[in-house]
Amino acid sequence: MLNLGYCKGSMSTASSGGVSDQFPVGLRVLVVDDDPTCLVILEKMLRICLYEVTKCNRAEIALSLLRENRNGYDIVISDVHMPDMDGFKLLELIGLEMDLPVIMMSADDGKNVVMKGVTHGACDYLIKPIRIEALKNIWQHVVRKKKNERKDMEQSGSVEEGGDRQQKQSEDADYSSSANEGSWKNSKRRKDEEEEVDERDDTSTLKKPRVVWSVELHQQFVAAVNQLGIDKAVPKKILELMNVPGLTRENVASHLQKYRLYLRRLSGVSQHQSGMGNSFISTQEATYGSLSSLNGLDLQTLAAASQIPAQSLATLQAAGLGRSTAKPRMPMPIVDQRNLFSFENPKLRFGEGQQQHLNNGKQINLLHGIPTTMEPKQLANMHHSAQSLGSMNMQLNAHGDQSGSLLMQMSQQQSRGQILNEATSSQVPRLPSSIGQPIVNNALASGVLARNGLAESGRGTGFNPVSQSSSTMNFPLNTTAELTATSFALGSAPGVPSLTSKGMFPEEISSEIKGPGGFIMPSYDIFSDLQHHRSHDWELQNAGMTFNGSQQSNSLQSNVDVASSVLAHQGFSSSQSNGQGRNISAVGKPMFSAGDATDHVNAQSLGQPLNNFFAENLVRVKTERVPDASLQTTLFNEQFGQEDLMSALLKQQQQQQQAGIGPAENEFDFDGYSLDNIPV
């Protein structure tokens, strides 16, 4: 008995014809395994189960397939041990980017490995050799996931089922945070349209918000606010104007608060206000290791504005400074709003935040002439990290089908960050390249800005080939199973060559893909790098945290300085297409999800220690489950669900994208976005 709800606006299967009626017949399965024998057998088994099968022998190819056609698959089955990418990484990425159910399989049946599958979010784990009976019921995972998402949507008050992507994302977020919705809402109501930061004490335990402020959503929001007039914009009216199903007044209210903060910061109305707006960023900067004094100031303002949990702020500071200079008392109230905001777009935030944070930190230091305790190198590192993170974010955003604007934003940020880095530290030599190449940011693959430029072009080209390759790859892959054993010659030449050649084909393709720009590779590399950096010290982590929290930093940047806006604009103008961004996203994602290879990411994006730093933090954030309320604290201190982080980051990116929608306002938007995070 199949739940026909499955076909009702189901996210991924709606597009496939015939699925709804005969489910699970026609279930679209993507199988990833580097072992050709297993791949062929699985494909055959799945076909017998009447599923629609796509074979893939490389994780990267699988990812590109999934990215190209987000709604083209219902479920993914992947091997654990693969040469080009760890199966668990792929699992995380898929969970973050496409949110598809993923089944892991391996000849390894050790408890640890199975546990790893569980913790990484696999919906099932199959031991090889796989029997067809095990595959017959995999459709249950698809149904279950949809059911859970629908439930979340309903819980969030949305009437729509299987709505748009945003809804889905919201649901995903909601899924984990639905329990907290009530308390969060209450606290939000109190703060609604209030511009006081001090009240942000609650919801420190809030989980990820359910609403994901994607670029489009934010654009709608901004449009509505502008239409009403910023002074007259009240959540209720904004909600009506936006007319987004599933969005609640509370969502809008909190977002509005952040937005107001951002605007205030931009206008530089008052130091305090801007401080508040930037507080988050400042704080992050502080954590960076900017100045202890600055830290204190930043932290306070940041805390106030962003409601950063004292704990997290302290952590950030300590992290940033690489020392435990955490202020004993964090006056700032818990920034649940900010956290929420972050969570809403955690993805965006992380990337952005990091970048911004870094950038901001730098900028602030530079601009205000505040003595920075942080060594330039450290700052540079941070920036780099931020940048890489930013690029990651951008990628994430891009990945999330965000417009290129986000990318641009990211680029901008990165550019800014980069510029700042350069300014602040002699390390960053790439200022010009960064400016001219927003993509660079996005291109994590390119450690050096110059490289970025290269990556840009490479990406552009790389991307296309990839897609092409993937499509072509599919073909051979799919047809491989058809190989007719013309001549049975187990070891004989005639039969074998044909097989091998076929088998080779996909590999070649992947190399092709990599060739042009290593498009896919970069992401993968970053991913692995992240992992490497995982073991970085706490400092980095903290720094990362600040980054995360540093959506504000973006805003801070804008406040800080014109140069950054210039950079931002430059970045903006030179921002790359979404395609690129997409790549980045992919890359960023891995970074995020991997939460490990920070190094790699850093190295790739900027090749700067800062990036590493940033990436590491970013990674950490990702790996840890960050409760909404204390994004920062939890990020580093606790184990965050990678999925949460990833989604947070992605959301952040989305937000950023949204913010960056307006060209002229690139900086503004971008920054503003981060500001939004800071509850006023």
Partner 1 sequence: MDRKQLQYQVACMRKSLFDQGYLDEQFNQLEDLQDEANPNFVEEVVTLFYSDSARFIHNIEQAMINKPNIDYGKLDDYMHQFKGSSSSFGAKKVKKECSQFRECCSAGNIEGCIKTFRQLKLEHATLKRKLETYFQLVKQAGIAERR
Sheet hosting strand 102-106, strand order edge to edge = 52-56, 28-32, 75-79, 102-106, 124-127
Least spacing, CB of residue 15 vs partner 1, in Å: 27
Least spacing, CB of residue 532 vs partner 1, in Å: 16
Sequence length of the chain is: 680
Cα separation, 595 vs 611, whole angstroms: 14
Least spacing, CB of residue 513 vs partner 1, in Å: 22
Inter-axis angle of helices 354-368 and 562-574, to 10 degrees?
A: 140
Least spacing, CB of residue 489 vs partner 1, in Å: 7
Least spacing, CB of residue 500 vs partner 1, in Å: 5
> What's the DSSP call for residue 130?
P
Whether the Cβ atoms of residue 416 and residue 354 lie closer than 8 Å to each other: no
In the bound state with partner 1, the residue whose beta carbon lies nearer, of 129 and 663, is 129
Neighbours of 229 (CB within 10 A): 9
Cα separation, 206 vs 310, whole angstroms: 15
Cα separation, 36 vs 41, whole angstroms: 9
Whether the Cβ atoms of residue 38 and residue 482 lie closer than 8 Å to each other: no
Least spacing, CB of residue 75 vs partner 1, in Å: 20
Cα separation, 556 vs 541, whole angstroms: 21
In the bound state with partner 1, the residue whose beta carbon lies nearer, of 132 and 269, is 132
Name the token pair of 476: 């051979």
Beta bridge partners of 105: 79, 126
In the bound state with partner 1, the residue whose beta carbon lies nearer, of 115 and 485, is 485
Torsion of CA 163, 165, 168, 169, to 10 degrees: -150
Looking at 59-106, which runs of residues are DSSP E strands?
Answer: 75-79, 102-106
Least spacing, CB of residue 503 vs partner 1, in Å: 7
Tell me if the bond preceding 129 is cis, omega within 30° of 0: yes
Radius of gyration of the chain (CA): 23
Cα separation, 180 vs 342, whole angstroms: 16
In the bound state with partner 1, the residue whose beta carbon lies nearer, of 47 and 147, is 47
Cα separation, 256 vs 194, whole angstroms: 10
Least spacing, CB of residue 642 vs partner 1, in Å: 24
In the bound state with partner 1, the residue whose beta carbon lies nearer, of 48 and 230, is 48
Cα separation, 377 vs 398, whole angstroms: 30
101-117 residues labelled b (16+ CB within 10 A) or e (exposed): bbbbbbeeeeeebbebb
In the bound state with partner 1, the residue whose beta carbon lies nearer, of 52 and 628, is 52
In the bound state with partner 1, the residue whose beta carbon lies nearer, of 29 and 466, is 29
Least spacing, CB of residue 18 vs partner 1, in Å: 20
In the bound state with partner 1, the residue whose beta carbon lies nearer, of 81 and 323, is 81
In the bound state with partner 1, the residue whose beta carbon lies nearer, of 468 and 498, is 498
DSSP codes, 505-549: HHHHHHHHHHHHH-SHHHHHHHHHHHHHGGG--HHHHHHHHHHHH
Least spacing, CB of residue 31 vs partner 1, in Å: 13
Least spacing, CB of residue 37 vs partner 1, in Å: 4
Residues that bind partner 1 (CB under 8 A): 34-38, 40-41, 44-45, 48, 79, 81, 106-108, 128-132, 483-485, 488-491, 495-496, 499-500, 503
Whether the Cβ atoms of residue 290 and residue 320 lie closer than 8 Å to each other: yes
In the bound state with partner 1, the residue whose beta carbon lies nearer, of 79 and 172, is 79
Tell me if the bond preceding 506 is cis, omega within 30° of 0: no
In the bound state with partner 1, the residue whose beta carbon lies nearer, of 69 and 498, is 498
The 3-state DSSP class for residue 54 equals strand
In the bound state with partner 1, the residue whose beta carbon lies nearer, of 80 and 398, is 80
In the bound state with partner 1, the residue whose beta carbon lies nearer, of 159 and 493, is 493
Neighbours of 485 (CB within 10 A): 10
**Phi, psi (rounded to 5 degrees) for 550:** -90, 35
Cα separation, 188 vs 334, whole angstroms: 13
Least spacing, CB of residue 2 vs partner 1, in Å: 25
The amino acid present at 374, given as its one-letter code, is M
Whether the Cβ atoms of residue 364 and residue 32 lie closer than 8 Å to each other: no
In the bound state with partner 1, the residue whose beta carbon lies nearer, of 488 and 664, is 488
∠539-540-544 over CA atoms, to 5°? 120
Least spacing, CB of residue 487 vs partner 1, in Å: 9
In the bound state with partner 1, the residue whose beta carbon lies nearer, of 81 and 272, is 81
The 3-state DSSP class for residue 106 equals strand
Least spacing, CB of residue 81 vs partner 1, in Å: 6
Least spacing, CB of residue 580 vs partner 1, in Å: 34
Name the token pair of 609: 């220690």
Least spacing, CB of residue 194 vs partner 1, in Å: 57
In the bound state with partner 1, the residue whose beta carbon lies nearer, of 108 and 195, is 108
Name the token pair of 622: 């990702």
∠441-346-300 over CA atoms, to 5°? 95
